[in-house]
Structure 1
Amino acid sequence: MRHIAAPVFAISTKYEGVRSVIVATAFSSVSFDPPSLLICVNQETSIHAPLMKAEHFCVNVLGHSHRNVADACAMKKGEERFSIGDWEEEMGVPVLVDAQSSLVCRTADRHRFGSHTIFVGEVIGARHRDNAKPLTYFDRRYIDISQAPDLA
């Protein structure tokens, strides 16, 4: 799958007063009615247990300027991951204030499959920025697709 370019997301939640966040690329829209999406989370990650119990989570779509947020999620642990970026609480979950988009979801369903759990979220809140360039992951590195040559 490393040969498929994908946007980068910071998945966040809060359970029993403890905030959790990871970076991920496994995301998809599910339905327009109700507005919903899915994320796939490895069962070995630090956020898995809180997501299994939490009622809400947020999908923060990272812009190219958020490379430091992605790096913090990869290199730091626990609450230290929130030391980079401007985070605020919205509907009970951490939201990255200047994310390209932030989609707050009510957890509607969970399905375990292999090493991952598929979380289906009904979107209950959203905010978007028009001027962000997406942070994209390809072949185990971040790339700037706005610098890609025109293939037309």
Structure 2
Amino acid sequence: MVNAEGTTDTTSDVVLGTGTVVFFAVPGAFTPTCHVNHLPGFVANITKLRAAGVDRVVCASVNDAHVMRAWAEASGAIGDIDFLADGNGDLAEAMGLAKDYSGAGMGRRFARTAMIIREGIADAVLVEDAPGVNASGAPAILMALEAARS
């Protein structure tokens, strides 16, 4: 995991198992849609997410920890969002969220997705069914959080 404290080895239950966590996964750090459309929405809405009761926001990608740290720093998200480096794609596979991007020269990566996890249990899982950021963006997560409060 990459966060303001540094880079550490961890397990998914430590990162996702306690409190209310917004977890979103992207195909690749610094890739155009991920870097310009997906991550910035979460950075811009971090205050709203916290106000909605979110304890932690975690971004995962099938990249190594060095790339994830560089992306966290370049995006200004370090300190607000934790980054989970899934270098071999093991978490993506285990979650059933691996997608083949071989046509784009990227191999197997996370499908673009977002979820709300409460005490280790996924309450909402939003997976994109087309290119772009719609179902898995910060506005969709904020709507899902609001709907759960009602």
Q: Where on the TM-score scale, by shorter chain, does this alignment land: which range?
A: under 0.3
TM-score by length of 1: 0.28
Higher strand proportion, which one? 1
TM-score by length of 2: 0.28
